[in-house]
Amino acid sequence: MNTNVPAAVLWDMDGTLIDSEPYWIEAETELCAKFGVPWSHADGLSLVGNPLNTSAQALKERGVLMSIDDIVAHLIGRVTMQVREKTPWQQDAFDLLNTVLAAGIPCALVTMSYKQLADALLARVPEAFAVVVTGDEVTNGKPDPEAYLLAAKRLGVDITDCVAIEDSPAGIGSAIASGARTIGVQRIIPVDAREGLSRVTTLGGLTLADIRDIARGTVIDTLA
């Protein structure tokens, strides 16, 4: 175990760093409307954190008469346009990101969104992330641990010395399976208790000391 922990902080993007989930649900709803099929807010919530191909398959099965690749391209294009127009930062995450960076701790962005959308965010904070892993460069999306393991490999650190911050069941499952110490921040969907999982309703109350304690194995659970 590295005594200098965390070796890195690994950040999910959609929902965790930026409040983009409404953009995704709006894009899904609009696309379904074009084909005259229903798509509810609950339907959108059920896809939060999933790989884009999984979401596209669900839309196709609902009645969107497009290929999986075309559905993904449409959704990515729509959400990217909105993020470029206005990046909806989660202020608590943005503040904690800056605190971590100021302490000299490397950060990675680990997202199931594709490079096109990640680049729209990175344009706002070009120096923030030493490593970026996107959904279009992994074989197995979240909840598989591949993306987090790849981020740690690219950073040259042990994943067990890292802290991952997530907001969705799929993302939390991915981070835990990778071996990272994991923080689940409850945004628009509940974060269920899991062994070893730290849970918070906001990242605003977390200090740098808390992040270091979590990296060493302390569990903080404000939802218990």
State pLDDT tens for residues 1-11: 456 789 999 99
Closest CA to 193 of 224, 170, 160, 159: 224
Question: How confident is the model over 111-144, as pLDDT tens digits?
Answer: 999 999 999 999 999 999 999 999 999 999 999 9
Please tell us whether the domain made up of 8-19+88-215 is placed in CATH 3.90.660.10. Answer: no
Residue with tokens 């194995």, as numbered in its chain: 217
Task: State pLDDT tens for residues 50-103.
Answer: 889 999 999 999 999 999 999 999 999 999 999 999 999 999 999 999 999 999
How far are the Cα atoms of 32, 39, 139 from residue 58, in angstroms, in the given order?
11, 10, 19
The CATH homologous superfamily for domain 21-85 is Putative phosphatase; domain 2 (1.10.150.240)
CB 87 within 8 A of CB 120: yes
Domain ranges of the chain: 8-19+88-215, 21-85
pTM: 0.89
Looking at every residue in the chain, the average pLDDT score rounds to 95
